[in-house]
């Protein structure tokens, strides 16, 4: 176990040097990275965040292609990081290995399930890190820890050698502190050539999503809008009620209207229905992947995660066709909305990072509201980036940008183009708030 000086980010530290000559000029040369304990690495037991899993599994005989890619790109691996058990949480707590320390706000959750990977980057222990994102496991800790986090389009980065949570939704994502490194890592993982950035045709603000925030929504939207206006002109900023658009263009969602939608004042009903479809699909695939192991081993699981895992394992096989129809319809609808070079802007999460030891019912409500936002990329298979926007009341805030499936290179370039201007606007916004 790593010590306090490592902010509790690592489960084990070791060094794996790049699989290339030190003389080669490579895109990630000189950079260091950490790997979430969900990726196979030859000679190491993949722990999946739980000692019972580690105890009942053998050391990996191969290394996941995503890890090999960044090693081949010239980066040096510094170890494996703490994660939420079985990747089934967005909080970042782990009863067995400890909760990695949120550098931005030590009394707050770091976010999960890729908590250690986010903290290793935020704490400047490594230059970038690898995580996975099924329901938000890169985007949430990136937001909580005040760093960049990228969830790629579903299926564009290999998940071979990564323990699955739900294959229809799983992605390999990554964290960085600056947009240049985020882009460089992305181009290696996505095997993309260097291309000139393309100007977005429009940036659509989902105006019904920002009221979900527990902080003044203009603190987030104004920074983004002013940055876009300065770089590209105000004419490309558009506004839309995303919930209404989804309701009109994703007819299969009507099958989820009967699901219990909590805290009506906090939700956009069609997106809450989308979240229900997401959760049904995730439960079903988790059970298929791990139900037998859970039922046989009866692992020691932390609060919250234990309930979710056993709910999934005990769930009956449901009509999954409707979930896949929702995915197909949503992807088509959002592709039509954005086109090739449009962007959708939403909050990453519905507010500031919750405090450590927050009461479970409060966390459950926050989780419900979070998945209204997080399920959009999951169910559309779109790429999404969480961008830090400074602090509000000394706590990190962020915004997310989404682009259509396969437009990852476009989105990465846009973040790099926007990043400097965003930082200028953040400074102005924070001065005005004092």
Q: Which of 36, 226, 287, 327 is catalytic?
A: 36
Token pair of 75 as six digits: 């980066």
Is residue 321 exposed (0-12), middle (13-18) or buried (19+ Cβ within 10 Å)? exposed
State the Cα–Cα distance between residues 70 and 357, nearest whole angstrom.
Answer: 36
Is residue 3 exposed (0-12), middle (13-18) or buried (19+ Cβ within 10 Å)? exposed
State the Cα–Cα distance between residues 411 and 400, nearest whole angstrom.
Answer: 11
Token pair of 85 as six digits: 């058990």
Other CB atoms within 10 Å distance of the CB of residue 139 = 30
Tell me which H or E stretch contains 326: helix 321-338
Query: Within the chain, how many helices (H) and strands (E) appear?
Result: 12, 11
State the Cα–Cα distance between residues 46 and 164, nearest whole angstrom.
Answer: 12
In 233-364, at which residue ranges do the beta strands (DSSP E only) sit? 237-240, 342-346
* Close Cβ partners of 4 (under 8 Å, ≥ 6 residues apart): none
State the Cα–Cα distance between residues 142 and 98, nearest whole angstrom.
Answer: 19
Task: For residue 48, give the nearest of 82, 86, 13, 12 by alpha carbon.
Answer: 86
* Close Cβ partners of 404 (under 8 Å, ≥ 6 residues apart): 334, 335, 338, 339, 340, 342, 382
Q: Has 325 been annotated as catalytic?
A: no
Q: Has 137 been annotated as catalytic?
A: yes
Q: Which of 114, 129, 137, 375 is catalytic?
A: 137
* Close Cβ partners of 361 (under 8 Å, ≥ 6 residues apart): none
Token pair of 280 as six digits: 């049904």
Give the rounded distance of the alpha carbon of 320 from its chain centre. Answer: 24
Q: Which of 113, 143, 275, 398 is catalytic?
A: 113
Q: Has 113 been annotated as catalytic?
A: yes
Residue 32 backbone zone (phi > 0: left; psi -120 to 50: alpha; other: beta): beta
Question: Annotated active-site positions, please?
Answer: 36, 113, 137
């Amino acid at each position: 176990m790593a010590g306090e000086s490592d902010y509790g980010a690592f489960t084990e530290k070791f060094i794996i040097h790049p699989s290339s000559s030190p003389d080669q000029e490579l895109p990630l040369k000189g950079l260091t990275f950490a790997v979430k304990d969900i990726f196979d690495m030859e000679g190491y037991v993949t722990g999946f965040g739980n000692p019972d899993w580690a105890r009942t599994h053998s050391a990996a005989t191969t290394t996941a292609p995503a890890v090999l890619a960044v090693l081949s790109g010239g980066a040096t691996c510094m170890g494996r990081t703490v994660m939420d058990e079985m990747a089934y949480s967005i909080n970042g707590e782990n009863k067995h290995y400890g909760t990695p320390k949120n550098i931005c706000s030590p009394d707050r959750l770091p976010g999960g399930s890729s908590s250690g990977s986010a903290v290793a980057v935020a704490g400047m222990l490594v230059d970038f890190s690898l995580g996975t994102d099924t329901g938000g496991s890169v985007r949430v800790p990136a937001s909580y820890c005040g760093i960049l986090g990228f969830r790629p389009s579903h299926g564009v980065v290999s998940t071979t050698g990564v323990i699955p949570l739900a294959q229809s939704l799983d992605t390999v994502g990554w964290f960085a502190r600056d947009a240049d490194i985020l882009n460089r890592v992305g181009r290696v993982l996505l095997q993309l050539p260097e291309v000139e950035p393309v100007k977005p045709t429009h940036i659509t603000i989902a105006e019904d999503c920002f009221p979900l925030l527990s902080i003044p929504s203009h603190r987030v939207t104004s920074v983004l809008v002013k940055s876009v206006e300065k770089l590209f002109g105000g004419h490309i900023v558009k506004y839309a009620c995303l919930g209404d658009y989804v309701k009109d263009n994703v007819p299969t969602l009507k099958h989820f209207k009967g699901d219990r939608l909590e805290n009506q004042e906090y939700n956009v009903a069609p997106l809450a229905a989308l979240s229900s479809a997401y959760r049904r699909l995730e439960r079903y695939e988790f059970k298929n992947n791990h139900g037998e192991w859970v039922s046989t081993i009866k692992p020691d699981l932390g609060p919250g995660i234990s309930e979710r895992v056993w709910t999934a394992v005990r769930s009956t096989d449901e009509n999954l066709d409707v979930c896949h129809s929702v995915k197909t319809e949503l992807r088509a609808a959002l592709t039509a909305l954005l086109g090739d070079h449009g962007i959708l802007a939403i909050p990453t999460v519905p507010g500031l990072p919750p405090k450590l030891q927050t009461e479970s019912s409060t966390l459950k409500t926050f989780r419900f509201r979070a998945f209204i936002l997080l399920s959009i990329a999951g169910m559309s298979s779109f790429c999404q980036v969480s961008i830090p926007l400074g602090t509000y009341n000394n706590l990190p805030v962020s915004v997310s940008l989404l682009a259509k499936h396969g437009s990852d290179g476009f989105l990465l370039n846009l973040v790099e183009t926007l990043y400097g201007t965003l930082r200028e606007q953040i400074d102005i916004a924070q001065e005005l708030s004092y």
